[in-house]
Amino acid sequence: MSSSDHRIRDDFRRQALACEALGSPFTSRLCRLLGERLNGTSRFGARVLGWQGRPDSDALPLRAAGALHALKRQGDAGLIAVYPPNEADNETLWRALDVAMAGHDDFLTRFLDSAPQTNEVSRSSAILGLALHVAKRVGLPLDVYEIGASGGLNLGFDAYAYELGDARWGDAASPVKIVSEWQGTLPPLDADLRVASRKGSDLNPLDASDEGQRERLLSYIWPDQTARLARIEAALRETAHMGVKVERADAADWVEREFAAPGGKGRARVLMHTIMWQYMPRETQARIEAAMERAGAAATKDTPLAWISVEADRKDTMSASVRLRMWPHGTDEELGRADFHGRWVRWG
């Protein structure tokens, strides 16, 4: 076994552990089986095991799992028989996977081309808390900008209904229900949160109104997490209804352009992103940081600027940092930690 082959199989094992921790025993088992048994007899297997790139930052195990889930969602009878809600032992599951790889090699191989985009809408629970902090501090309407926005589902965070432990926020009639256990010193739920405008960008944006693109996104949602699937399906419909559009653009180019001019008086500009920073080149990150520092230097009390994020860091590999920077306030603080899928947020 080559060192590259060994490294890739290790990535599948690590992803299996992560899936288990995030509540998807089926996807955990799938990744473990692929890591142990995948071989180069199919083009799909050969491409995975000979991956040209970084399998960790390229989310290779999730690309492979997404390809197989997409095939199942298209009606492949063999996979339907072994995927949730049906049950199968490892040998039966692997036989079905082996048949699928042999019979649909071209489809599965092509599916590996694009990075996974789950557009995890439950991360909006952390975004909501950050936005409430911003709204309370500035007392102004917010112009919201998101990079790595995928289909724009989190751009509509203020339109959803939230169950936050014992607290509630938002329109109870919203078809998008987000349940997240908030712990610690809670954000100001009474803040006057008003989103005046919303824009998003992504290298590979998804159109929530396009059935094929919706299906691609749903293929990356783990098949045994039925509530999560239903929630994202509802958010896709709501986003399409709201008419949210995400521009195809490099994140640094877009931030430099959008934040080059001063903000409008009486409005607070807010840059947001969730679980995407680690996938960008360091040069892109540096350009965004420089653009925000320039925009921050020009911010005033009447044209404030905020940067809110929910991103992985080295402090705790099992949770994301919930962070707020503000200008001209000069603050840069971690307000909490969040589950990667938004199941809980620990504030304070």
pLDDT digits (tens, 9 = 90+) for 224-251: 999 999 999 999 999 999 989 899 999 9
Q: Distance between alpha carbon 230 and the CA centroid of its chain, in Å?
A: 16
Closest CA to 329 of 295, 310, 312, 306: 306
Q: Residue 261: which of 306, 302, 299 has the closest Cα?
A: 299
Using CA atoms, how far residue 123 sits from 48, 97, 309, in Å, is: 29, 31, 10
pLDDT (tens digit, 9 = 90+) per residue, 252-278?
999 999 999 999 999 999 999 999 998
Say if residue 133 is in the same domain as residue 232: yes
pTM comes to: 0.87
Q: Which DSSP state fits 343? A: S
Q: Is residue 37 part of a domain?
A: yes
Q: Which helix (H) or strand (E) holds 22?
A: none
Q: Give the contacts of 171 (CB within 8 A, at least 6 positions apart).
A: 159, 160, 161
Answer whether the bond into residue 281 is a cis peptide, omega within 30°: no
Whether 194 and 260 map to the same domain: the answer is yes
In a domain, 47, yes or no: yes
Domain count along the chain = 2
Q: Is residue 160 part of a domain?
A: yes
Q: Which domain holds residue 252?
A: 121-210+223-347
Peptide bond preceding 328: is omega within 30 degrees of 0, i.e. cis? yes
Each residue's pLDDT tens digit, 39-93: 999 999 999 999 988 877 789 999 999 999 999 999 999 999 999 999 999 999 9
Mark whether 79 and 204 lie in a shared domain. no
The answer to the question of residue 216 being in a domain is: no
d(CA 14, CA 17): 5
Q: How far apart, in whole angstroms, are the C-alpha atoms of residue 296 and residue 331?
A: 11
Give yes or no for residue 1 having a pLDDT over 70.
Answer: no
Show which of 57, 92, 111 is a domain's final residue.
111
**pLDDT (tens digit, 9 = 90+) per residue, 102-148?**
999 999 999 999 888 888 999 999 999 999 999 999 999 999 999 99
- The CA dihedral of 273, 152, 169, 197, to the nearest 10 degrees, is 90
Domain end: 90, 111, 132, which one?
111
Q: Where are the alpha helices (DSSP H) in the chain?
A: 3-21, 25-37, 43-49, 60-73, 77-80, 90-103, 105-111, 124-138, 211-219, 226-242, 251-258, 282-297
The sheet carrying 161-164 orders its strands as 167-169, 161-164, 177-179
* 131 and 70 within one domain: no
